């Protein structure tokens, strides 16, 4: 006499992959997690990529600001050996028969040491020109103990643009995935409620 009835085996189908769809319909709320990962992860990668452009500036050779620099279509980084955070120091391009352009203050102030001198970044010109010189003066017109240096940086703008592109594209894709998931799942639930 058998001790138990026939055993009924239940075989589960293969698990769905994250955010797998039936046709074009999202089958899992994990799609929201995927959207967040794409947006946040891609944004952080983009920020890191753009931030690495500052390393290009710090690795470039610094020369005295009063010597002509070959900087056509290159980013120009301006440095000082004595940071003066308590003074308003403005920099502009100079040189005979050359355009005078104000140079934007740098958002951050990293430092690099070359030939025994520690240079701190204070300003960045996105696109320079040949025979470029730089003049930096405190607006209070008092004596200035600092020296200034300049460096031509290759690939700075393209690195920043690449990082920004990665960041915003990732956010756009993540938002689009999240919206698509919300709208499609809502339609599925409404259809099931009226079935």
Asked if residue 27 is part of any domain, the answer here is no
Q: How far apart are CA 41 and CA 63, in angstroms?
A: 39
Q: Do residues 123 and 175 share a domain?
A: no
Q: Do residues 96 and 179 share a domain?
A: no
Q: Is-above-0.75 flag for pTM?
A: no
Q: How far apart are CA 133 and CA 70, in angstroms?
A: 9
Q: Do residues 76 and 115 share a domain?
A: yes
What pLDDT, on the 0 to 100 scale, is given for residue 43?
Answer: 84
Q: Do residues 47 and 107 share a domain?
A: no
Asked if residue 88 is part of any domain, the answer here is yes
Confidence of residue 190 (pLDDT cuts 50, 70, 90): confident
Q: Do residues 95 and 119 share a domain?
A: yes
Asked if residue 15 is part of any domain, the answer here is no
Asked if residue 24 is part of any domain, the answer here is no
Q: How far apart are CA 36 and CA 95, in angstroms?
A: 51
Q: How far apart are CA 144 and CA 184, in angstroms?
A: 65
Q: What percent of the chain has pLDDT over 70?
A: 83
| Residue 28 pLDDT > 80 | no
Asked if residue 8 is part of any domain, the answer here is no
Q: What is the largest CA-CA distance in the chain?
A: 111
Into how many domains does the chain fold? 2
Domain span at 177 = 32-59+155-184
Q: How far apart are CA 129 and CA 96, in angstroms?
A: 13
Q: Residues near 108 by Cβ (< 8 Å), separated by ≥ 6?
A: 54, 121
């Amino acid at each position: 006499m058998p001790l138990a009835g026939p055993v009924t085996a239940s075989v589960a189908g293969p698990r769905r992959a994250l955010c797998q769809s039936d046709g074009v319909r999202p089958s899992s709320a994990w799609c929201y997690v995927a959207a967040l990962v794409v947006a946040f992860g891609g944004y952080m990668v983009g920020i890191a990529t753009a931030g690495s452009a500052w390393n290009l500036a710090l690795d470039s050779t610094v020369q005295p600001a009063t010597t002509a620099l070959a900087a056509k279509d290159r980013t120009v980084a301006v440095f000082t050996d004595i940071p003066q955070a308590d003074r308003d120091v403005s920099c502009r391009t100079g040189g005979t028969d050359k355009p005078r352009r104000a140079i934007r203050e740098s958002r951050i102030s990293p430092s690099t040491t070359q030939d025994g001198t520690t240079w701190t970044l204070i300003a960045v010109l996105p696109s320079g020109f040949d025979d470029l010189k730089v003049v930096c003066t405190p607006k209070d017109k008092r004596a200035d103990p600092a020296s200034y240096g300049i460096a031509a940086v290759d690939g700075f703008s393209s690195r920043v643009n690449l990082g920004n592109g990665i960041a915003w594209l990732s956010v756009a894709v993540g938002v689009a995935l999240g919206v698509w998931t919300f709208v499609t799942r809502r339609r599925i639930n409404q259809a099931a409620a009226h079935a």
